[in-house]
């Protein structure tokens, strides 16, 4: 989402970091580029004006003038002001232990409330809470069924409701049902409209009064840019929202909503949607997002994603297999699955420092999700014996695998070659022959054992 903004700011950072001394002209040019970059990213004009003024005021102060590297000091100031613009610090849900809490999910139609409710329920379940999903959108018939199906997939109970029911009655009966079931967190999926209207706000106000929610989260589509900021201001004015969930942050919009919404609404962004899968949601960290925007990566989030995706027992078993050189194509397939759990290759690369510059180089291969899918399809088209011993895959087997996976024989050849090179690499690390090499281990001379 922030690619264009990152590119523009990266050029400013490069220019400033190369300056041993900063002149008034240097600063004016740099701030002009920052202003243009933010405006092109669809950031609210008033927000841009304040941001640039704050950076300029600090850049004229002693912390820059007395610095040994003023260019780097200005970059530090831009980073700190970006963090402040994005909300300052990360804020979590304010849920009490031992008490049934309600979270109202509000927003316009199509912003992703239903899916976000399920994603958030899954996250809370993993944290040890007992969520209860409440479908209160009776105007979009598919919403009730969608939430029921998502609840089934996650193993999370969903309150029974129908389009004939009154939304307020659904919510009040859900509170009692949650207590009976021992659930401690209600996630109420409310109705939306194509635009903010009085009827919608009145209904949401009645639900708020009936259930007294601990949190009211506005689910806003980051792709809508400045419209999302306007919607946030209106919802906050009527309902006093406690936070924002920005969805579709993996899209190709300009990112202005993320940089404006917290400042305009006065409420923090608590979560961002990062994909269509039910694990495609993450807590929002202003400092990490600022780091990504400035092209400095986000290693902490990458580590957290890796820790949540990797099964410790599987990892231990994998280490053992690598040491014994018995790493098979089944193990290779397992590794692909774990990488996919972390998000798209584009997202993973975006969290690595310096990758933004590499992405612009013509001779550097770009991440291709289709390649992973092709590899997965080819391995799944092999028999169990073939996955255990790749050396038995002769010409006729390669043709069968290619046909079964919808690929070419050349694709299968490339996969097996890459896998063979991987085994050779493992052999170098372990000092042992690769699996199924067919060769005998050489005897070492005496004194070398």
Report pLDDT digits (tens) over 71-93: 677 778 888 888 888 888 888 89
Is residue 268 located within the same domain as residue 313? no
Position 27 scores a pLDDT of 78
Position 447 scores a pLDDT of 47
**Mean pLDDT value across the chain:** 80
3-class DSSP assignment, residue 209: helix
Is residue 107 located within the same domain as residue 189? yes
Position 89 scores a pLDDT of 84
Backbone angles phi, psi at 310, to 5 degrees: -90, 125
Number of residues written out for the chain: 449
**Residue 148 · residue 189 · CB < 8 Å:** no
Q: Is residue 435 a part of any domain in this protein?
A: no
**Residue 244 · residue 268 · CB < 8 Å:** yes
Is residue 407 located within the same domain as residue 342? yes
What confidence tier does 145 reach under pLDDT thresholds 50, 70, 90? very high
Is residue 278 located within the same domain as residue 350? no
Position 449 scores a pLDDT of 44
Q: What angle do CA 388, 389, 395 make, to 5 degrees?
A: 125
SS3 of 11-79: the string is HHHHHHHCCCCCCHHHHHHHHHHHHHHHHHCCCCHHHHHHHHHHHHHHHCCHHHHCCCCHHHHHHHHHH
What confidence tier does 448 reach under pLDDT thresholds 50, 70, 90? very low
Is residue 77 located within the same domain as residue 213? no
Is residue 29 located within the same domain as residue 117? no
Q: Is residue 90 a part of any domain in this protein?
A: no
**Which of 235, 294, 208 is CA-nearest to residue 259?**
294
Position 441 scores a pLDDT of 46
Position 252 scores a pLDDT of 56
| Section 364-381 average pLDDT | 77
Q: Is residue 95 a part of any domain in this protein?
A: no
Q: How many helices (H) and strands (E) does the chain have?
A: 21, 7
Adjacent-strand bridge partners of 151: none
Q: Is residue 444 a part of any domain in this protein?
A: no
**Which of 160, 146, 140, 150 is CA-nearest to residue 120?**
150
Q: For the domain that residue 53 is a member of, what is the CATH number?
A: 1.20.120.140
Tokens linked to 217: 């989260």
Q: Count structural domains, the chain.
A: 3
Q: Is residue 93 a part of any domain in this protein?
A: no
Q: How many other CB atoms sit within 10 Å of the CB of residue 227?
A: 15
Tokens linked to 9: 């700011």
| Section 182-205 average pLDDT | 90
Tokens linked to 218: 């506005």
Is residue 284 located within the same domain as residue 343? no
């Amino acid at each position: 989402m922030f690619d264009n903004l990152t590119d523009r700011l990266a050029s400013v950072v490069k220019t400033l970091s190369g300056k041993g001394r900063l002149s008034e002209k240097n600063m004016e040019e740099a701030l002009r580029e920052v202003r243009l970059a933010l405006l092109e990213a669809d950031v609210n004009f008033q927000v841009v004006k304040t941001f640039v003024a704050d950076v300029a005021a600090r850049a004229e102060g002693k912390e820059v003038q007395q610095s040994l590297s003023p260019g780097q000091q200005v970059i530090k100031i831009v980073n700190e002001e970006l963090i402040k613009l994005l909300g300052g610090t990360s804020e979590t849900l304010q849920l009490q232990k031992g008490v049934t809490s309600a979270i109202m999910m509000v927003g316009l139609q199509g912003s992703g409330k239903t899916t976000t409710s399920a994603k958030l329920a899954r996250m809370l379940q993993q944290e040890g809470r007992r969520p209860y999903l409440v479908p209160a959108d009776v105007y979009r018939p598919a919403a009730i069924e969608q939430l029921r199906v998502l609840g089934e997939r996650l193993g999370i109970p969903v309150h029974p409701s129908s389009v004939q029911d009154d939304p307020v009655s659904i919510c009040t009966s859900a509170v009692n049902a949650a207590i009976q079931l021992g659930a401690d967190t209600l996630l109420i999926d409310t109705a939306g409209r194509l635009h903010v209207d009085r009827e919608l706000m009145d209904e949401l106000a009645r639900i708020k009064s009936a259930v007294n929610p601990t949190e009211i989260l506005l689910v806003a589509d980051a792709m809508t840019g400045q419209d999302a900021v306007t919607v946030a201001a209106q919802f906050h004015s009527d309902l006093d929202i406690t936070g924002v969930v920005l969805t579709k942050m993996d899209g190709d919009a300009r990112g202005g909503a993320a940089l404006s919404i917290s400042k305009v609404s006065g409420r923090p962004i608590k979560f961002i949607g990062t994909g269509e899968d039910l694990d495609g949601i993450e807590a929002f960290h202003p400092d990490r997002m600022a780091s990504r925007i400035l092209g400095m990566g986000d290693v902490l989030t990458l580590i957290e994603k890796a820790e949540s995706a990797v099964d410790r027992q599987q990892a231990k078993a994998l280490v053992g297999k690598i040491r014994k050189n018995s790493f098979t194509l089944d193990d290779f397939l397992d590794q692909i699955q774990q990488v996919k759990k972390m998000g798209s290759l584009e997202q993973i690369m975006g969290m690595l420092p310096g990758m933004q510059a590499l992405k612009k180089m013509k001779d550097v291969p770009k991440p291709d999700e289709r390649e992973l899918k092709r590899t997965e399809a080819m391995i799944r088209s092999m028999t169990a014996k073939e996955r255990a011993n790749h050396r038995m895959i002769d010409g006729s087997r390669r043709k069968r695998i290619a046909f079964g996976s919808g690929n070419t024989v050349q694709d299968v050849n490339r996969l097996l070659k890459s896998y063979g090179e991987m085994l050779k690499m493992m052999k170098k690390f372990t000092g042992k022959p690769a699996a199924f090499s067919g060769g005998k281990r050489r005897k070492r001379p005496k004194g070398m054992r």
